[in-house]
Chains A and B, each alone.
Chain A
């Protein structure tokens, strides 16, 4: 197999490196690029970063040039993530729009819808959230019960969504709702584009075990959504949902690699700074060996990404290997962060007093706690294993999945 970059890919990488040199001062959250406190300020930093990326035309490289992208190949998209993995940067609140809403709008949207929404996603002028999960529709998303009843020129939406990222900040929601309750569950679903400022939309942050709130509950009470905001055909929303998740898969493959590589760099840095019994922690054979194992994960995630992308266009199916990234990553990321808090010991849980400086070691326990959601969010590891077993290995459906 050929791992050499093509001349166009090398040019893409070199242009990107030059841009990074000019625009990334260092890691976000360090004195060279301080991170603000508070939700509003953090959001503003994320939006500013998203806008800066767009100015360089790096915000949506895999999108068509007509919508602000570069028509980049899957390999070039990966190069972007790989290069960016060298730095900690603000989280752009545009990720749902760029990774999910945008691609399905291109796939299923009318010309008017594409005109209306796509450019504002790339420019970070509008933020999107995704309304799929519900309290009774987690792994079994098709069991959703939020209803959209057609009436004249609009739908009337009632119900509740949960685990909605960027719910408090979003201008628009890519919503799955039941438009026909009389047919089997996958068949009566439609996809709607909902203005989050419509009366009857109420967003409540969820406080998570880290104490932070990255997710929200979104309540819809008699929310009026114009029929023009139907995406795709009526009752065909499940297909839209599947397409959304397919697009997410290639994105996630690069995202988890870049995130893991960045985290590994920080955990290695931690091990290099700390001593135990007067010796550097990196000389501890157990720590050393575990770090090698995480290096192996980072490196194979990188090569898996390349294998999945070489010679492929954006429209190609990533193939069987596309299914394993999140599964492999979730386990490894949890284990690596557990190592970080283990080597810190009590310093990892200090909230105040000497040794508990902000952004210091006390941060690591929070980071470890956050990783416990990695095997739940975006498809539980159990569901992902089931997908591999059923669709790739052909082992057949398990009991209880009769539909």
Chain B
């Protein structure tokens, strides 16, 4: 581990200790905003949003592996708030756009954490196909467009200053950047079972845009899916690490029949199998972060695999843990269900398992 990554980890752990105890998280997630304003600002203003931004664009240029180190720490303690979407969707949208004017207008504030952009990709529950976007850009006179339609399951929509929205344009699938207060834009919150995450519904009712609002075509979406899913894999990895450490500790302490339950093979063997699954998922994540940072030829399928393996491993860790605990982990007071619901939420964030399995089927197996 490099010194830089160690320092990032340490500062993230300090921030979590100061603001995000499980009691605080439970209190924050019960509010509409989902996070305490001061704590939320603290996360966004650490300088972490620029970790993977190239130095030439005012970032630290440390890559997705380093950003992942921070996300792992946040994932361990189910830290709520929009950091993940801001860092792995909003910031990269303005980094990778060819629209220099918009980049200059937005990126410095996004990196500083004083403004925030989210990305609206989905029309329904799955990952949209580039040729089948439901929301459209209708041509108006003078090269202007009117955006029309509904984008669903938009991460951290409420409170975003800007939204990069993918629509079907006569010129092909296109991403436009619009301000949240542009006329015709409506944002509706969708409270979730997973209180640590926030989704919203974006309604576009003849929102007028021009070529100046255009960020890119479908290749930009593909890039965002890489950074966002490596980030999601980092959160999931941190999450399953925390779950696993906790349940192994519990198995050593909890006594039944006069001995720790961890000495029973019926408890040991599922945990041993889980260890194998978690280490394999961690491998998939570490490789994907490297593949994205090094633009490796296999990065698309590597990221799909990381996304699939880590979210599934996170889910498995929570359900195996629940069973190993017995009744105590079924109570609202016990923290495990916060991880469980988050793990399930991750499984259908930015598309479903099947969407990513399909990327592997085509890209990895040539099926």
| A residues lining the B interface (CB < 8 Å) | 1-4, 268, 271-272, 282, 288-289, 291-292, 295-297, 299-301, 303-304, 306-307, 320-321, 324, 327-328, 382, 384-386, 388-390, 392-399
B357 within 8 Å of A (CB atoms): yes
| Chain B residue at minimum C-beta to C-beta distance from A272 | B367
Q: How far is the CA of A390 from the CA of B265 in the complex (A)?
A: 10
Judging by beta carbons under 8 Å apart, are A303 and B360 in contact? no
Judging by beta carbons under 8 Å apart, are B275 and A397 in contact? no
Lowest 9 CB-CB distances: which A-B pairs, in order?
Answer: A389-B268, A395-B262, A303-B283, A300-B280, A385-B272, A388-B272, A324-B276, A385-B269, A292-B357
Judging by beta carbons under 8 Å apart, are B275 and A392 in contact? yes
Question: Which residues of A lie under 8 Å from residue B11 when comparing CB positions?
Answer: none
| Chain B residue at minimum C-beta to C-beta distance from A289 | B357
Q: How far is the CA of A2 from the CA of B354 in the complex (A)?
A: 29
Tell me which residues from 336 to 367 in chain B have a Cβ below 8 Å from any Cβ of chain A. 354, 357, 360-361, 364-365, 367
| 15 additional contacts (CB under 8 A) given A389-B265, A389-B272 | A268-B365, A288-B357, A288-B361, A291-B365, A292-B357, A296-B360, A297-B280, A300-B281, A300-B283, A300-B284, A300-B305, A324-B279, A327-B276, A388-B272, A395-B262
| Selected contact of B286 from candidates A1, A320, A389, A393, CB within 8 Å | A1
Question: Which residues of A lie under 8 Å from residue B248 when comparing CB positions?
Answer: 393-395
Looking at the assembled complex, report how far the CB atom of A386 sits from the nearest CB atom of chain B, in whole angstroms: 7
Question: Which residues of B lie under 8 Å from residue A327 when comparing CB positions?
Answer: 272-273, 276
| Chain B residue at minimum C-beta to C-beta distance from A325 | B276
| Chain A residue at minimum C-beta to C-beta distance from B280 | A300
| Selected contact of B263 from candidates A1, A307, A397, CB within 8 Å | A397
Judging by beta carbons under 8 Å apart, are B290 and A3 in contact? yes
Judging by beta carbons under 8 Å apart, are B269 and A382 in contact? yes
| B residues lining the A interface (CB < 8 Å) | 65, 248, 251-252, 259-260, 262-265, 267-269, 271-273, 275-277, 279-281, 283-284, 286-287, 289-291, 294, 302, 305, 308-309, 354, 357, 360-361, 364-365, 367
| Chain A residue at minimum C-beta to C-beta distance from B247 | A393
Q: Could you give 24 example pairs across A and B, Cβ below 8 Å?
A: A1-B290, A3-B294, A282-B367, A291-B365, A292-B360, A292-B364, A296-B305, A300-B280, A300-B305, A303-B283, A303-B284, A303-B286, A306-B287, A307-B283, A324-B279, A385-B272, A386-B269, A388-B272, A389-B265, A393-B272, A395-B252, A397-B263, A398-B265, A398-B268
**Among the interface residues A282, A324, A393, which one has the most CB atoms of the partner chain B within 10 A?**
A393
Whether A395 contacts B275 in the complex (CB less than 8 A), given A1-B65, A299-B364, A385-B268, comes out as no
| Selected contact of A304 from candidates B259, B280, B357, B360, CB within 8 Å | B280
Question: Which residues of B lie under 8 Å from residue A397 when comparing CB positions?
Answer: 263
Q: How far is the CA of A392 from the CA of B360 in the complex (A)?
A: 32
Judging by beta carbons under 8 Å apart, are B276 and A396 in contact? no
Question: Which residues of A lie under 8 Å from residue B271 when comparing CB positions?
Answer: 389, 393, 395
**Among the interface residues A4, A272, A299, which one has the most CB atoms of the partner chain B within 10 A?**
A299
Judging by beta carbons under 8 Å apart, are B365 and A299 in contact? no
| Selected contact of A295 from candidates B263, B264, B280, B364, CB within 8 Å | B364
Interface of A, helix, strand, loop or mixed by DSSP:
helix
Question: Which residues of A lie under 8 Å from residue B302 when comparing CB positions?
Answer: 299
Judging by beta carbons under 8 Å apart, are A396 and B309 in contact? no
Q: How far is the CA of A289 from the CA of B354 in the complex (A)?
A: 8
Question: Which residues of A lie under 8 Å from residue B291 when comparing CB positions?
Answer: 3
Q: How far is the CA of A216 from the CA of B34 in the complex (A)?
A: 66
| Chain A residue at minimum C-beta to C-beta distance from B364 | A295
Judging by beta carbons under 8 Å apart, are A395 and B263 in contact? yes
| Chain A residue at minimum C-beta to C-beta distance from B5 | A1
Judging by beta carbons under 8 Å apart, are B263 and A398 in contact? yes
Question: Which residues of B lie under 8 Å from residue A1 when comparing CB positions?
Answer: 65, 286-287, 289-290
Question: Which residues of A lie under 8 Å from residue B272 when comparing CB positions?
Answer: 327, 384-386, 388-389, 393
Judging by beta carbons under 8 Å apart, are B309 and A296 in contact? yes
Whether A393 contacts B275 in the complex (CB less than 8 A), given A3-B290, A291-B367, A295-B360, comes out as yes
Whether A2 contacts B290 in the complex (CB less than 8 A), given A282-B367, A389-B271, comes out as yes
Whether A304 contacts B279 in the complex (CB less than 8 A), given A1-B286, A4-B294, comes out as yes
| Chain B residue at minimum C-beta to C-beta distance from A291 | B365
Question: Which residues of B lie under 8 Å from residue A390 when comparing CB positions?
Answer: 268
Q: How far is the CA of A289 from the CA of B264 in the complex (A)?
A: 34
Looking at the assembled complex, report how far the CB atom of A354 sits from the nearest CB atom of chain B, in whole angstroms: 29
Whether A386 contacts B357 in the complex (CB less than 8 A), given A291-B365, A300-B281, comes out as no
Question: Which residues of B lie under 8 Å from residue A306 when comparing CB positions?
Answer: 283, 287
Q: How far is the CA of A94 from the CA of B340 in the complex (A)?
A: 49
Judging by beta carbons under 8 Å apart, are A396 and B287 in contact? no
Q: How far is the CA of A394 from the CA of B252 in the complex (A)?
A: 8
Q: How far is the CA of A388 from the CA of B302 in the complex (A)?
A: 27
Judging by beta carbons under 8 Å apart, are B268 and A299 in contact? no
| Chain B residue at minimum C-beta to C-beta distance from A329 | B276
Q: How far is the CA of A84 from the CA of B289 in the complex (A)?
A: 27
Judging by beta carbons under 8 Å apart, are A396 and B367 in contact? no
Judging by beta carbons under 8 Å apart, are A300 and B275 in contact? no
Question: Which residues of B lie under 8 Å from residue A396 when comparing CB positions?
Answer: 252, 260, 262-263
Looking at the assembled complex, report how far the CB atom of A262 sits from the nearest CB atom of chain B, in whole angstroms: 14
Question: Which residues of A lie under 8 Å from residue B286 when comparing CB positions?
Answer: 1, 3, 303, 307
Q: How far is the CA of A229 from the CA of B289 in the complex (A)?
A: 52
| Chain A residue at minimum C-beta to C-beta distance from B264 | A398
Judging by beta carbons under 8 Å apart, are B284 and A296 in contact? yes
**Among the interface residues B281, B308, B365, which one has the most CB atoms of the partner chain A within 10 A?**
B365
Judging by beta carbons under 8 Å apart, are B287 and A303 in contact? yes
Question: Which residues of A lie under 8 Å from residue B65 when comparing CB positions?
Answer: 1
Q: How far is the CA of A26 from the CA of B341 in the complex (A)?
A: 50
Question: Which residues of B lie under 8 Å from residue A388 when comparing CB positions?
Answer: 272, 275-276
Q: How far is the CA of A1 from the CA of B277 in the complex (A)?
A: 19
| Chain B residue at minimum C-beta to C-beta distance from A300 | B280
Q: How far is the CA of A296 from the CA of B271 in the complex (A)?
A: 20
**Among the interface residues B262, B283, B360, B361, which one has the most CB atoms of the partner chain A within 10 A?**
B283
